[in-house]
Amino acid sequence: MYKQYQQVGEEKERFLLWAVCSIQLQVLCGSGEDKLLFLAEGLLKKHVASHSLHEPEALMIYISILERQAKFGDALEILSGKLGSLLQIEVDKLRMQGRLLARAGDYTAAADIFNKILESCPDDWESFLHYLGCLLEDDSIWCDEVVNDPVHPPKFVNFKVSHLTDEQFDSQISIASACVQKLQADTINNLIRCPYLATIEIERRKHLRGKGNDDNLMDGIVQYFCRFGHLACFTSDVEMFVEVLTTDKKIELLEKLMKTSVSLSAPPTKTLGLSISFFKIKHLLLGDMSMSSASDLEVFCVQMFEMYCKNLPLSKDLDPQESMHGEELLSMICNILVQLFWRTKNVGYLVEAIMVLEFGLAIQRYVSQYKILLLHLYSHCGALSVAHEWYKSLDVKNILMESILHHILPQMLVSPLWTELNHLLKDYLKFMDDHFRESADLTFLAYRHRNYSKVIEFVQFKDRLQHSSQYLVARVETPILQLKQNADNIEEEEGILQNLKCGIHFLELSKEVGSKSLTFNEDLQSRPWWTPTSEKNYLLGPFEGISYYPREILTKDRETSLKRVIEKKSLLPRMIYLSIKSASASIKEHVEVNGSVTPDITSELKLLLECYAQFLGFSLTEAIEVVMGFSNGESSCVVSDSNLIDWLNFTVFLNAWSLSSHELVQPDGNGCRPRIWNILDSMLEKYILENVKSIEPQLCSPWSVMELLMQLVTEPLAWHGLVIQSCLRSCFPSGKKKKKSGSAYQSSANLAHAITDSVMHLFHVLEVVLKWITEWNKRPEDEHLENILLLLRRDGHNDGPGKVFHILETFISSVNDVELGDRISQSLKSWSPADVARKMMTGKLKVLTEFSAICGSKLKLFKSMKQQIAQL
């Protein structure tokens, strides 16, 4: 590119900037050293000396290269010189100048610049923070800009304890206060939030310095409530300020806000907004919801639902796709009802939350937050097909797939809805692969239009997507899904494995993952409070007193944990392939006919077993000891629900390796059946039957046990079935029964003895599972519906779920067409709680039906294997 630059005339600047962007990208993407920036700077400096610059974007690239080298003075000199005139928008130029001055340590000059910005843009909150930071000589805001994750921005403004003396601090705070007062005076008739938030921020800084006045801070929040409390953003605006108050002061602030909200006079829509903000700030200030009794929370839900119903007429003339007045109330009610379920384990609260959200969506079908909450509630109750339908209704396309798919993908990966899962994975991977192909065109288009900052942005964005944790998961899970789908037919399974290059590609991926840095691009703010990340679900554990809407911070631990999961799963295709070959090679007749490949198979499989054991936290020898410990029928303390599938997978592959390896020869008491095989069969039988017995009979009960049961059948049992198929096929190499020599006959007889009990065990286990599903499906529909609705019937009881549902039913029965308008009233009249209960029932039964089909296919396989064994 630099050679082209030397050869062209008028296009010199464009080719130069392409070369400079390439250098900058090498540094930004981590493949180049910072000294390359010096080279880029030299190219630009030489070009400016001979040809100057003619594009604003070229100047911005030049400034960014100097800034990255901490040459702030040089950048300021260029910006204030002739080239600075390339930036036509004055406020953009001032922002850049202020940042450079601050990073150069000239805080006084930087503060003056940001003050100018505030005079022309009084609602520029970021500029105010920069202004205050300069006054207090606090550079933490610029340090944070370097490390901030653009997808997950920090929740609070960091603040470094100032090195200023008390007198200097007071003086600078006075200057800031005077500036804010002037801004407020100049914007008294406008709905501009920044000057009023700035007053509270100044009080917060004083408080953190130890010079704060709680009354001033609380008064600032109350005044902000009076002016902006009707806005949906009020609570998030003041959230970081109330954090500095003690519990007593928070209660005092709540009392002040309550008095203020009662005295305020406003139009109905603003009054509603103020009430919603008060409800939200009440929870924020009270913090730990465990301090409130269940009955108090129920009353609170009733109050909010009554408010929602009372204010529905305000939305009667709105377009169907417009946000309704008070729609946040139903989300808040749902969150509290789920909290009540967590505390009491009364599943009726979950059903009530679902009813409330379905009621809201009957009125307004476009509230994405309702759909996301419902998606997670239906998933938790096992109606995953309904959850999937709600996900599809979000109409997620293009890049939103990267940030929204996490709501449904983890649940689908452990479900029997393989067709739907296949579509999800294919659509997502197609988008990602298409984007990677098209990104070069987008980058070149931006370059042609001399939008050099976009060139940098496009390449960085592509790099971020290529390191996406979700993308890696999808790449690994797609072949595993194919292997699950074809596990009942070894010939088809081997065809899949051949297409996967026998799993070698995924071994390479497993080795690469450890050295990669992963990016997490999920929109975690859209997740419900009870599942802040896809790996965490508070509802599966015991109730803990936690603050309102707990949010987990993304840490390096999460990245490390996910890397291990991806690395471990990347081993599966190759281990399945080698296990099939190992089982086949264990038959003497097969070795004689096809030539022995046992040494290569056993050595590689042993190596992979060692890797797999490390992921379990043990050496291979230690992991084998854990497995052997199951021979007495006792569970190991190191095996739990969270790692059970991994241990059983390990045991399947260990068993396959032991068939062709002489390192682990431990027959059972009869001297002919491998001991590990016996242990594996016992483990599968034990855990599958235990899970069947522990599943709660209620149709809407949580589904975590059922998920584990489905995984047990579709993974370790399926892989073990492949090993058995391989052994049997080796006894019939041409598909027909052959006359065998004495040794071969003995080998086949020993094999038959080894697998006969295994097939019988697993056949019996699958029969039990199918019988349980059949009994569940045989229950009358009316019984299912009645059991669900019964959870919400009060029947004279004052405690428990159903209070909100009772008001809901009463409201629907007394709908006023004139008050609500045709659209809303017709929607309510066509809505039925029984339909929602039926949806829950059919959604769960569909999952069970799909699982039943999988179990039925495997039962048919084991039946055919019993017939084959009879011929041995």
Cα separations in angstroms, 651 against 676, 680, 681, 749: 8, 6, 10, 24
How many CB atoms are located within 10 Å of the residue 440 CB?
Answer: 12
Dihedral angle, C-alpha 758, 764, 765, 767, nearest 10 °: 140
pLDDT at 31: 62
Tokens of 434: 């298409």
Bridge partners, 519 (sequence order)? 468
Question: What angle is formed at CA 263 by the lines to CA 257 and CA 266, rounded to 5 degrees?
Answer: 105
pLDDT at 413: 96
CA distances from 250 to 282, 284, 494, 602 (A): 9, 9, 65, 66
Instruction: Annotate 607-642 with DSSP letters as a single string.
Output: HHHHHHHHHTTS-HHHHHHHHHGGGGTPPPTT--TT
- Of 806, 705, 742, the C-alpha closest to 588 is 742
Query: Would you state the pLDDT for residue 162?
Result: 67
The yes-or-no verdict on residue 331 having pLDDT over 90 is yes
Partnered with residue 674 across adjacent β-strands are: 667
- Using an 8 Å Cβ cutoff, are 378 and 392 in contact? no
Q: What are phi and psi of 416, to 5 degrees?
A: -90, 5
Q: Which of 496, 500, 469 is nearest to 571 (CA)?
A: 500
Candidate from 163-177, 626-640, 837-851 with smallest mean pLDDT? 626-640
Which residues in 711-850 belong to E strands, given as ranges? none
The percentage of the chain sitting over the pLDDT mark of 70, rounded to a whole number, equals 87
- Please give the single-letter amino acid code of residue 245: L
Average pLDDT for residues 574-583, to the nearest whole number?
Answer: 94
Residues 583 and 216: their CA atoms lie apart, in Å, by: 77
CA separation for the pair 133, 162 (Å, rounded): 10
Residues 6+ apart with CB under 8 A from 331: 357, 369, 370, 373
Residue type, 386: V
> What confidence score (pLDDT) does residue 35 get?
81
Encoded tokens for 254: 């709540």
Query: 485-510 as b/e, with b when 16 or more CB fall inside 10 Å?
Result: bbbbebeebbebbeebebbeebbebb
**Is 587 a residue whose pLDDT tops 90?**
no
pLDDT of residue 817 exceeding 50, the answer is: yes
Q: What residues form DSSP beta bridges with 468?
A: 519
**Selected residue with higher pLDDT from 550 and 418:** 418
Residue 630 to residues 72, 636, 679, 763, 784: CA-CA distances in angstroms?
Answer: 67, 7, 6, 21, 39
Encoded tokens for 311: 């204010």
What gap in Å lies between CA 380 and CA 370, rounded to an integer?
15
**Measured CA distances, 766 to 481, 565, 690, 708, 713 (Å):** 21, 28, 13, 15, 9
Q: What integer pLDDT is reported at residue 548 of this predicted model?
A: 43
The DSSP bridge partners found for residue 667 are 674
- Strand extents, DSSP E, 180-308: none
Give the tens place of pLDDT for each residue, 785-809: 888 898 888 666 678 899 999 999 9
Position 228, amino acid: F
Is residue 9 scored above 50 in pLDDT? no
530 vs 636, higher pLDDT: 530
- 351 CB-near residues (< 8 Å, 6+ apart): 700, 788, 791, 792, 801, 837, 840
Residue with tokens 């803990």: 544
Look at residue 252 and tell me whether its pLDDT is greater than 50: yes
pLDDT value for 674: 60
Please check whether residue 588 is in contact with residue 743, taking contact to mean a CB–CB distance below 8 angstroms. Answer: yes
Contact 607, 599 (CB under 8 A): no
**Residue environment code for 514-524, b if the CB has 16+ CB neighbours within 10 A, otherwise e:** eeeebbbbbeb
Selection from 688, 666, 686 nearest residue 676 by Cα: 666
Is there a contact between 347 and 853 (Cβ–Cβ < 8 Å)?
no
322 has a pLDDT exceeding 90:
no
How confident is the model at residue 620, as a pLDDT? 95
- Strand, coil or helix: 677: helix
Residue 599: pLDDT band with limits 50, 70, 90: low
- Convert the pLDDT of each residue in 290-311 to its tens digit: 567 888 899 999 999 999 999 9
What is the per-residue pLDDT for 607?
95
Write down the pLDDT at residue 160.
60
Quick one: tokens of 118?
């505030």
The identity of residue 161, as a single letter, is: V
Nearest to 27 by CA among 16, 38, 37, 13: 37
Measured over all CA atoms, what is the biggest interatomic distance in the chain, rounded to whole angstroms?
A: 104
- Whose CA is closest to 707, among 844, 527, 570? 844
Q: 766, 862 in Cβ contact below 8 A?
A: yes
pLDDT at residue 411 in the model? 95
Tokens of 313: 């007429």
Q: What's the whole-number average pLDDT of the chain?
A: 86
Token pair 């200057």: residue: 175
pLDDT at 738: 47
pLDDT value at residue 125: 94
**pLDDT level of residue 147 (50, 70, 90 thresholds):** very low
Nearest-angstrom CA–CA distance, 395 and 366: 10
Grouping H, G, I as helix, E, B as strand and the rest as coil, residue 674 is strand
Could you tell me the pLDDT band of residue 818, with boundaries at 50, 70 and 90?
confident
Whole-number pLDDT of residue 287: 64
Task: Name the one residue in this structure whose structure tokens are 């390439």.
Answer: 22
Which range has the worst mean pLDDT, 230-234, 430-434, 475-479, 558-562? 558-562
| Percent of the chain scoring above 90 in pLDDT | 55
pLDDT tens across 40-60, in order?
888 888 888 888 888 888 899
∠319-325-329 over CA atoms, to 5°? 130
666-703 pLDDT, tens digit per residue, is 555 444 446 788 899 999 999 999 999 988 767 777 78
Q: Mean pLDDT over residues 499-524, rounded?
A: 88
For the segment 631-652, the average pLDDT, to the nearest whole number, is: 86
Q: Which one is predicted more confidently, 363 or 11?
A: 363
- pLDDT bucket at 227, cuts 50 / 70 / 90: very high
Give the predicted TM-score (pTM) of the model: 0.90
What is the distance, to the nearest Å, from the Cα of residue 132 to the centroid of all Cα atoms in its chain? Answer: 36
Residues in the chain: 872
Per-residue model confidence as pLDDT tens digits over 388-399: 999 999 999 889
